[in-house]
Amino acid sequence: MSEQSDQEKTEQPSEKRLREAREKGELPRSRDLSGAVVVLAGVCALISGGQGALEHVQRIYRLGLVYRRDALFSDELPSRVLSLATREAVLLLAPLGLATVLAALAAPILLGGLNFSTQALEPKLERLDPIAGLGRIFAMRGLVELAKSLLKLLLIGGVLVMVLKNWQDDLMGTGLGEVGPGMLRAMSLLGHGALLFGSVLALIGGVDALYQKFDHNKRLRMTRQELKDESKESDGNPELKGRIRQMQYQMARKRMMQELPKADVLITNPSHFAVALRYDEGRMGAPRVIAKGMDELALQIRMVAASHRIPTVEAPPLARALYATTRIDREIPASLYVAVAQVLAYVFQLKQAVSRGEEPPTAPQPDVDPDLMGPYQF
């Protein structure tokens, strides 16, 4: 059953799955790569500071072999020698220690990045199960780790044999001649040998890093059903989302109907579109659409407008252009200023004529660019 489940996990892990794994401290990590970076950093520090390191070593030896006669009869000799030797040892090891510490901190960034997880620190009793431990040892990952250990043993052993064979004369020559040049030569051989070992470890670490990244991605893969369930959980139930959208639409429609009595004019198609405009010269930069609708909603808007005696102007191109270009509670675009201004001027003249008992003016038919009507040109 487990093998079948693994075979079904063919989909790449989602961002949520990767984020949860990171929170648990599950990141691709390569101990071989980290070890190689630390070794190479230490070797580089050793080679670059070889001459200075030799001087510190010489001072430490000199402290143990050279004394003045008066110092031999002084009680402060041991503490003074120990203090000076400690100082020289710190100066000797400080560059090496600093380089290795920085490398140890920087090594995780090369693969999975820095991460701190409190969940990874929590004790897990299942790890103490001996049966499960045997299962992990003989599982595929355990076999891969065994193969890597054997490969490291063969490569490092081969490099060691090559170094001893090719550098035999140089190694034997370090014990001949003067002490200073011999020590310098010995440290040079040690540094280059360590650099060679570090290069081998870097090669192994690079291969292991690729495998760890692949294995981490494989363990986090998901089935198609898991992706569907996660998507449904993240996005929510489609029926619930649809109901929420419907409630939002009804609330917006209710607010629109409440604002409709404040309109100055209603522009209609006459039957398919209805757009209500309001303009307050002191508070608005341009006329604003406070309600609009099509078909059944347009009919309701016309009925409400009629009950509140809002002037209605039949201007089909302008109604379709306003419906297509302007959202509710937004000002009309500059391209419709002239057409709307003609309608508002007509409404003002109409009110003046009604108040004086005169004949009403002729309703305008403003010209509108057909491109402004969008999909409602026809």
Cα 162 to Cα 36, 77, 149, 288: the distances in Å are: 20, 47, 20, 87
pLDDT, residue 22, reads 74
pLDDT digits (tens, 9 = 90+) for 65-117: 666 666 566 666 667 777 777 888 888 788 888 888 888 887 777 776 666 55
The closest of 42, 49, 65, 50 to 184, measured between CA atoms, is 50
Q: Residue 44 in 3-state DSSP?
A: helix
The yes-or-no verdict on residue 302 having pLDDT over 60 is yes
Exposed (0-12), middle (13-18) or buried (19+): which is 15, by Cβ within 10 Å?
exposed
Mean of pLDDT values over 256-261: 87
pLDDT, residue 252, reads 82
**Residue-averaged pLDDT of the chain:** 78
pLDDT digits (tens, 9 = 90+) for 224-252: 777 777 776 666 566 767 787 888 788 88
- The whole-angstrom separation of Cα 266 and Cα 245 is 27
Q: Which CATH class is domain 258-376?
A: alpha beta
Q: What percentage of the chain has pLDDT greater than the value 90? A: 5
pLDDT, residue 276, reads 92
Hey, where are the domains in the chain? 27-114+133-219, 258-376
pLDDT digits (tens, 9 = 90+) for 177-223: 676 676 667 777 777 777 788 888 888 888 888 888 888 788 888 87
More confident residue, 273 or 196: 273
Q: Residue 291 in 3-state DSSP?
A: strand
Contact 204, 152 (CB under 8 A): yes
pTM (global) more than 0.75: no
Task: Dig out the tokens for 162 from the structure.
Answer: 């090559």
pLDDT tier, 4 (very low <50, low <70, confident <90, very high otherwise)? very low
